[in-house]
Chains A and B, each alone.
Chain A
Amino acid sequence: MAVLEIRDLHVSVETDQGTRQILRGVDLTICSGETHAIMGPNGSGKSTLAYTIAGHPRYTVDSGSITLDGADVLEMSVDERAKAGLFLAMQYPVEIPGVTVSNFLRTAKTAIEGTAPALRQWVGDVKTAMTNLKMDSSFTERNVNEGFSGGEKKRHEILQLELLKPQIAVLDETDSGLDVDALKIVSEGVNRAKENTGLGVLLITHYTRILRYIKPDFVHVFVAGKVAEQGGPELADRLEAEGYDRYVEATA
């Protein structure tokens, strides 16, 4: 049972126009097995929260804390966070020319586990996971994200999620750019991971449509760098009907 706790988190980023505050006191607690949807308008700081949890060097934590089972996540390097059980499914996965998916997945699994996986078992696991995500077997010989369609990139992220078996996953707009078929496939992958490993999910999205396939236990509305309102799944339905205008106007 893992617990990711975010307390009064303030984050800023350096821009050409100077320092810009983005997160202004975020409080969240995510436990194993729970699915939290973070919804909000563009520019509200959703992705900043995702990257900050993962440790992207662009973001500066000014105050507050992030802990995983009590351990200080902010003190960990990016790879240490992954080894501790955190996972970020990226909104824009980068291409890594010349590095095959097969080599990448094995290297990552070895890093996370501390030892190389037994070859036969590993090859079988990869194959099963790819079949589940309706990915062609030739995929493993392609270079990481190179020439991948939007849908392929997202499936590849979820493939990693299923194979690396983190405790808490942050999905940063995994639904963006997916057609309904791909959205279903990707959602099924997330649900499998929840079922198989008790994954805790922090699902960041702008739209409610992914929530038809991945059922949230909690919905947090993110506006201007903090949680403006939270509730159960019914809050998502209300957002679907009313949009974010109510919140944006309130802070304007």
Chain B
Amino acid sequence: MSSATTAPAQAGANKNLHGPGSTIHVQTRNERPASFNLSDFEPVTGREVDWKLTPVAALADLLDATIDGAELTIDSTSNGSASVSWVSMSNDAVGLAGVPEDRASSIAWSSTENALLIDVSADDVSEVSVNRSGLGLAPRAAHTVIRVAPFAKTTVVLTSEGQASLSENVEIIAGESSQVTVISLQEWASDSRHLATHFIRADKNASVTHTVVSLSGAIVRVNPQTRLAGEGSSVNMLGLYFADSGEHLEQQVFVNHEAAQTKSRVNYKGALQGQGARTVWIGDVLIGPHAVGTDSYEQNRNLVLTEGTRADSIPNLEIKTGDIAGAGHASATGRFDDEQLFYLQARGIDEATARQLVVRGFLNEIVQQIPVASIAQRIELALDRELEGIA
């Protein structure tokens, strides 16, 4: 599979793999094991740095061995000349953006029979939407490639609903000077599980906006990672999640500044309500030795609405060059602010409405940046439903 890779060499690929029985202490983010071969990944114990906050016991069937990789039933629409088609996993388009870095991703890669290829040709302007629903609770694997040729502009919306036990990889290749917007919206049924890795590669001067919105599901773990591979490329990674009782919503975000003059912004915001509501955000930013003049900032904010929730928020920043324009990170997890509530109530607004205003306001920063009106509206409606229960 790696022979199909035409991308610049993946930093860290095929290095430092676990030998049987050996242990490895991963010190820097891009030295994490990466391989296309499932046999290179040890069974997941739950002690690994990238699994230790995940309920792995409830994911055993997705972390064990290969799973059903038949084509998913999807609904897709496309305007512009973007093509949406199923292609073999040995197609040139597959493997351009990333190499699996964990066992779930590797299993999904190895299991998938055909990949869904969303192909946007040069200078094209297009919008594509793909919906997955009713996949059923048996484990399924999938692979999606969004390949955007130079100077094209595209928006891809990936929506998910209903029951699923889905493990998948999504590759996003943003060609030179392209403008790519990808929105992944998870609105799964309450018993669904979803493991996903999104591999984003931004070539020279490409501009990518990637948004993960996870609103429901038993376990939803969407890990987007961006390689700013081309000089002058930029990424804006946004996330919004709302965990209710019994939901585990996780995202491990990684930005790898490989090239010079690259820019990244990461902003994830989440709300938690109800006994056992659980969220995990891990944000890694790596500024490589050649990435001079980079500008990066990542932040995660969580709003805790009730007792009995847990939010993990772990920002990491590694800088390997002395010449950067800016690098910062922030993380905050706070209880609902009673002073805000008082202020609104002192203007006659009842408590339930005041709480809705504050929470909606908190999350609005992300919703306002979703350029597809129908999706923004759908998220707002979903948030309204979530918030009806909190007062």
Contact = CB atoms under 8 A, between A and B. Distances in A.
Interface centre among B338, B339, B362, B363 (most CB of A within 10 A): B339
Contacts of A108: 344, 347-349
B347 A111 contact: yes
Contacts of A77: 345, 351
Interface in B344-360: 344-351, 353-354, 357-358, 360
B353 A107 contact: yes
A140 interface: no
A241 interface: no
Interface string B310-348: 000000000000000000000000000111101111111
Nearest to A111: B348
Interface in A137-155: 143
> Which 6 pairs between the two chains have the least Cβ-Cβ distance?
A98-B361, A98-B364, A82-B348, A78-B345, A108-B347, A99-B361
9 contacts: A77-B351, A78-B345, A94-B337, A94-B342, A98-B360, A99-B360, A107-B349, A107-B357, A111-B349
A206 interface: no
Interface centre among B345, B362, B365 (most CB of A within 10 A): B345
Contacts of A205: none
A81 B346 CA distance: 7
A57 B363 CA distance: 26
Interface centre among A90, A108, A160 (most CB of B within 10 A): A108
Contacts of A83: 348
A56 B349 contact: no
Contacts of B365: 97-98
A96 interface: yes
Interface residues of A, number: 29
A158 interface: no
Nearest to A86: B346
Interface in B211-246: none
Given A83-B348, A94-B340, A111 B360 contact: no
Contact of A94 (B339, B348, B350): B339
A193 to B, nearest CB: 15
A56 B364 contact: no
A88 B348 CA distance: 11
Contacts of B346: 54-55, 78-79, 81-82, 87-88, 90
A112 interface: yes
Interface string A71-115: 000000111011100011010011111110001100110011000
A201 interface: no
B348 A97 contact: no
A99 B355 CA distance: 12
A37 interface: no
A4 B202 CA distance: 65
Contacts of B357: 96, 99, 103-104, 107
B241 to A, nearest CB: 16
A96 B358 contact: yes
Given A56-B342, A94-B343, A79 B362 contact: no
Given A57-B338, A107-B353, A107-B357, A98 B362 contact: yes
Given A57-B338, A57-B342, A111-B353, A97 B361 contact: yes
Contacts of B344: 96, 104, 108
Contacts of B338: 57
A160 B347 contact: yes
B348 A164 contact: yes
Interface centre among A77, A83, A93, A98 (most CB of B within 10 A): A98
Contacts of A143: 361
A98 B340 CA distance: 12
A126 to B, nearest CB: 14
A144 to B, nearest CB: 8
B347 A164 contact: yes
A47 B333 CA distance: 30
Interface string A46-61: 0000000011110000
Nearest to A112: B348
Contacts of A55: 345-346
A81 B345 CA distance: 9
Contacts of A104: 344, 347, 357
Given A56-B342, A97-B361, 10 more contacts: A57-B338, A78-B346, A79-B347, A79-B350, A79-B351, A98-B363, A98-B364, A104-B344, A108-B349, A111-B347
B335 to A, nearest CB: 14
A82 B348 CA distance: 5
B346 to A, nearest CB: 5
A143 B364 CA distance: 11
A147 to B, nearest CB: 14
